[in-house]
């Protein structure tokens, strides 16, 4: 039995990004969604992973407008103007590793901590965007040390939190969601414009997965196609 009954209220965290904006557009046009709220660095209640206190503050600000049946966290970083993913062990450096762990693992983990309190205990889904390259078992090419490590850490945090939520909110599915290659600023240096899918197509694929989840899916690492991925 699917968890998301319609209509549902949705929250998109990272709503100003490429995928977050696509989710906002899609949910605003979805008759199954009665309301969608977006959070970003520019929103009324800003959330910024460079300021970790903003996570709790934003969650507290929204606590009076709960519950949400669907929460999607799209925040993540692969590269900046200062550095690109490492190709060799020789390229590994502490600043880059620390930054990616903070944005891709610490921030999302604290988001789960604070925003899971806003989920409807009767039926809800919370998805955090991860990446297939964070799979330890699937790592065949190497490289991208910091990004791989940060997403692997995120996956462990999601899995661990899902075990606890199974006891406290048994009708909630907490998952890691792989969006695939999307035409975005994140993928642009890696031929994303040529090989990536349009953001609305990617969001549509992922929303179909989210709307089909059951509570037994909680603690899973799932692709946009619905495929279960190895941790």
Query: How does residue 124 score in pLDDT terms, banded at 50, 70 and 90?
Result: very high
Query: How does residue 80 score in pLDDT terms, banded at 50, 70 and 90?
Result: confident
H/E segment holding residue 98: helix 94-101
Condensed to tens digits (0 to 9), the pLDDT of residues 41-79 reads 999 999 999 999 999 999 999 998 889 999 999 999 998
End-to-end CA distance of the chain: 25
Arithmetic mean of pLDDT, 202-210: 97
Query: How does residue 127 score in pLDDT terms, banded at 50, 70 and 90?
Result: very high
Mean pLDDT of the chain: 94
Distances (CA, A) of 100 to 29, 33, 122, 196, 200: 33, 33, 34, 22, 26
Is the pLDDT at 151 greater than 70, yes or no?
yes
pLDDT over 90 percentage in the chain: 88
Sheet holding 33-39, edge to edge: 33-39, 8-13, 70-73, 124-129, 172-178, 221-223
Pairing of strands 221-223, 124-129: unpaired
What is the structure's pLDDT at 4? Answer: 92
Condensed to tens digits (0 to 9), the pLDDT of residues 105-123 reads 999 999 999 999 999 999 9
**Half-sphere exposure of residue 75: CA atoms within 13 angstroms, side-chain side:** 30
- The residues spanned by each domain of the chain are 8-223
Distances (CA, A) of 106 to 12, 35, 50, 51, 112: 18, 28, 10, 11, 10
Contact 70, 124 (CB under 8 A): yes
pLDDT over 70 percentage in the chain: 95
CATH architecture of 8-223: 3-Layer(aba) Sandwich (3.40)
Q: Is 212 exposed, middle or buried (0-12, 13-18, 19+ CB in 10 A)?
A: middle
What predicted TM-score, i.e. pTM, was given to this entire model?
0.94
Is the pLDDT at 91 greater than 90, yes or no?
yes
Is the pLDDT at 192 greater than 50, yes or no?
no
Longest Cα–Cα distance in the chain: 52
Rounded Cα–Cα distance for residues 217 and 231 (Å): 14
Is the pLDDT at 194 greater than 80, yes or no?
no
What is the structure's pLDDT at 185? Answer: 64
């Amino acid at each position: 039995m699917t968890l998301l009954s319609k209509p549902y209220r949705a929250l998109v965290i990272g709503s100003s990004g490429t995928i977050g904006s696509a989710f906002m557009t899609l949910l605003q046009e979805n008759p199954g969604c009665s309301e969608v709220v977006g959070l970003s660095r520019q929103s009324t209640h800003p959330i910024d992973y460079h300021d970790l206190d903003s996570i709790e503050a934003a969650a507290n600000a929204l606590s009076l407008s709960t519950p949400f049946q669907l929460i999607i966290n799209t925040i993540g970083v692969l590269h900046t103007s200062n550095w690109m993913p490492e190709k060799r062990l020789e390229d590994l450096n502490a600043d880059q590793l620390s930054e990616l762990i903070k944005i891709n693992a610490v921030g999302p983990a604290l988001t789960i901590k604070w925003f899971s309190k806003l989920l409807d205990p009767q039926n809800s889904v919370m998805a955090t965007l991860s990446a297939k390259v964070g799979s330890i078992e699937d790592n065949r090419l190497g490289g991208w040390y910091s990004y791989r490590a940060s997403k692997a850490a995120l996956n462990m945090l999601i899995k661990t939190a899902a075990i606890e939520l199974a006891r406290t909110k048994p009708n909630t599915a907490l998952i890691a969601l792989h969006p695939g290659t999307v035409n975005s600023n994140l993928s642009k240096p890696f031929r994303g414009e040529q090989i990536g899918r349009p953001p609305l197509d990617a969001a549509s694929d992922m929303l179909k997965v989210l709307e089909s989840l059951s509570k037994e899916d909680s603690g899973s690492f799932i692709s946009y196609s619905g495929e279960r991925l190895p941790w």
